[in-house]
Amino acid sequence: MLPSKGILDVGEAMILFGLKCGREHEFEGWFPSGEAYEAQLAARELSCPMCGDRRVEKAVMAPRIGKAAEAPSKPTREAMDMRKALVALREKVEANCDYVGPAFAEEARRIHYGEVEGRGIYGETSDNEARSLHDEGIPVAKIPWVPRHDG
């Protein structure tokens, strides 16, 4: 992960760390120094590009010497692309739908049965309640919701 604050000169020396989240996803992060990594970790600015988990730590990694311009690995790039797509999806949902919070299932039923005007909504519900909505013929979809930080 590059620092979210400031701009780095591509000519600066960078350190590559293998990282993993609390869910055991492994990814790489480039940092200007070990101190920069520690500062970002302490400020909870680091997150898994696959799931958004902020419980990040260094993974076991064989040392390798790389150039500052070296690109992230293919799995890391793919995870970063997926995260970027999920952030864009979150932004589109937030811009075009009403947030109804934990009242999602109730509001989805009210819309489905014509008690209120139809509109796009998003919120939270349990897996059981989502299955009940589906069984009633009410279309619902689960979206992996990427946290707002550094998104």
Q: Write the pLDDT tens digit of every residue in 64-91.
A: 555 555 677 777 788 888 888 888 898 9
Return the residue matching tokens 């293919």: 74
For residues 16 and 67, the model is more confident at 16
Mean of pLDDT values over 4-27 = 68
**Bridge partners (DSSP) listed for residue 102:** none
> Global pTM?
0.52
Q: Which of 77, 69, 82 is nearest to 14 (CA)?
A: 69
Which CA distances in Å does 5 have to 2, 77, 146, 150?
Answer: 9, 21, 20, 10
**Bridge partners (DSSP) listed for residue 28:** 18
The pLDDT value recorded for residue 4 is 35
Under 8 Å CB-to-CB from 81, ≥6 apart: which residues?
Answer: none
Under 8 Å CB-to-CB from 140, ≥6 apart: which residues?
Answer: 108, 125, 130, 133, 134
